[in-house]
């Protein structure tokens, strides 16, 4: 169990949404600032997004200055708390169990000890059967839009619920505990004790500068800032793909600004890629469980993300990590030329590239899916643009993902452009 002594002081609320609440907090021992995200596990969707973020960030064995760092994650049930962590970094850490409603579900023994509970699925509405030690042992998840389609080349959740088959993934919890948190795809049901309140607390880097969208739109365009941001984002994406993580929702709103953590001698802020709620960890190759996955060969089928940043193949439902390259291409093009649109729901001005069709604007990926041979007008607003920069954006936004650079080639090309100090306007 975690210590009963408070480790953090909550200073103030800095954000709130359907997912939960984010606080600025301070580490009691050092005074260091951190962000604490509190997510109430009252709906399958909230739990699913939170566990995907935990799964991605906790799978990273090292830190990167441009990727948000997860300090720790705490699972709370009423007044009890348990630190969550990966019990193993093995690709076999992802396990699938098949169950049927007639026989119910039983948590198999794991390396941390015997099972603590079972869930009776034979009655209408799954119920939690505790062993009396008051430790939460199972969280059930329903399917949602971001889990529809095929199995994402060995995805965590199965589509076979209407045939009575449910797959599950176990997350080992800290060495001080002896239970497993299991997510299931039991559609429409969640195996929480209704008398208890469950929360997930994420302790992460604190970013004091808002998000990339608000930062850029509140300032005049700057080639120096653009260069810095492109290099940081290229480095972050290469790091994520090297760690077998596909983000799947890259957009300026999910890129945070940490002004207090700028590199020595730099006047530009540090970017942090955040919000891994839709991310996918491609832990194995699929053919050989012992072989690390190549994110460019890990085919996914779940159409998820934010429409104005989604690649054509995501709309189609068959894509790889090259979809992240397309999303970053949309961001870079919009940043360089200050291309914006207004979100119809929030009326917020957002950085993003699009295609004008009459009086309507259409997401770039959707338009390219309809017409893969469509010629993009680059630059769209500037009178001219450096040929190297123009070609890079064109390559990143190619309708054919095979023609896009991977994250490692992209990082090198961005460095070459920056080192040559090319004038993008000529």
DSSP-derived letter for residue 229 is H
Q: For the range 313-318, what are the long-range contacts, defined as Cβ-Cβ under 8 Å and sequence gap of 24 or more? A: 313/369, 313/401, 314/365, 315/365, 315/366, 315/369, 316/369, 317/149
Among this protein's residues, is 208 annotated catalytic?
A: no
Given the residues 205, 211, 249, 275, select the one marked as catalytic: 249
Binding-site members for ATP are 38
Joined together, the tokens standing for residue 204 give 């992460």
Are the C-beta atoms of residues 139 and 192 closer than 8 Å to each other? Answer: yes
**How far apart (Å, rounded) are the C-alpha atoms in residues 242 and 230?**
18
∠ CA(407), CA(408), CA(413), 5° rounding? 95
Find tokens 């389609």 and name the residue.
Answer: 149
Helices (H) and strands (E) in the chain, counts: 8, 19
Long-range contacts of 98-102 (CB under 8 A, 24+ apart): 98/165, 98/166, 98/167, 99/165, 99/166, 99/168, 100/164, 100/165, 101/164, 102/164
Q: Tokens in use for 84?
A: 């969550």
Beta strands at 340-342 and 127-129: parallel, antiparallel or unpaired: unpaired
Task: Check the CA dihedral 14-20-26-32 and report its sign.
Answer: negative
- Supply angle C-alpha 97, 108, 298, rounded to 5: 35
Our CA angle for 77, 101, 94, nearest 5°, is 60
Nearest residue to 407 via CA among 96, 67, 57, 155: 67
Written as six digits, the tokens of 382 are 């500037």
Q: 216: helix, coil or strand?
A: helix
Angle made by CA atoms 299, 150, 238, in degrees to the nearest 5: 25
Q: Round to whole Å and give the CA distance between 282 and 189.
A: 27
**What's the Rg (C-alpha) of the chain?**
22
Catalytic residues: 249
């Amino acid at each position: 169990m975690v210590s009963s002594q408070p480790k953090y002081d909550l200073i103030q609320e800095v954000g709130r949404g359907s997912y939960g609440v984010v606080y600025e907090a301070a580490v009691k021992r050092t005074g260091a600032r951190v962000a604490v995200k509190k997510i109430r596990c009252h709906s399958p969707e909230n739990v699913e997004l939170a566990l995907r973020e935990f799964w991605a960030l906790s799978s990273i064995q090292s830190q990167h200055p441009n990727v948000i760092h997860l300090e720790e994650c705490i699972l709370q049930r009423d007044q009890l708390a348990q630190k969550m962590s990966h019990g193993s970094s093995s690709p076999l850490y992802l396990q699938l169990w098949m169950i049927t409603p007639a026989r119910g579900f039983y948590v198999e023994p794991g390396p941390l000890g015997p099972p603590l509970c079972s869930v009776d699925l034979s009655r209408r509405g799954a119920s939690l059967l505790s062993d009396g030690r008051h430790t939460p042992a199972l969280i059930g998840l329903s399917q949602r839009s971001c889990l529809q389609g095929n199995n994402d080349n060995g995805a965590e959740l199965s589509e076979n619920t209407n045939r009575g088959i449910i797959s599950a993934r176990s997350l080992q919890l800290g060495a001080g505990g002896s239970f497993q948190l299991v997510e299931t795809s039991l559609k429409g049901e969640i195996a929480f004790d209704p008398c208890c309140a469950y929360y997930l607390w994420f302790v992460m880097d604190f970013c004091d500068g808002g998000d990339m969208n608000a930062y850029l739109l509140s300032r005049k365009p700057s080639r120096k800032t653009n260069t810095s941001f492109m290099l940081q984002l290229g480095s972050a994406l290469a790091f994520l793909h090297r760690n077998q993580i596909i983000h799947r929702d890259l957009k300026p709103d999910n890129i945070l600004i940490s002004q207090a953590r700028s590199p020595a001698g730099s006047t530009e802020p540090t970017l942090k890629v955040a919000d891994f709620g839709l991310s996918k960890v491609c832990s194995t190759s699929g053919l050989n469980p012992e072989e690390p996955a190549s994110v460019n060969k890990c085919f996914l089928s779940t159409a998820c993300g934010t429409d104005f940043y989604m690649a054509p193949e995501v709309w189609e439902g068959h894509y790889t990590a090259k979809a992240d390259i397309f999303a970053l291409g949309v961001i870079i093009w919009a940043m360089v030329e200050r291309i914006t649109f207004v979100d119809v729901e929030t009326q917020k001005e957002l950085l993003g590239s699009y295609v004008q069709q009459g009086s309507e604007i259409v997401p770039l990926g959707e338009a390219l899916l309809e017409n893969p041979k469509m010629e993009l007008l680059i630059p769209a607003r500037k009178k001219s643009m450096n040929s190297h920069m123009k070609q890079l954006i064109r390559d990143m936004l190619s309708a054919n993902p095979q023609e896009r650079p991977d994250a490692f080639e992209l990082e090198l090309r961005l460095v070459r452009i920056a080192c040559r100090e090319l004038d993008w306007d000529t």
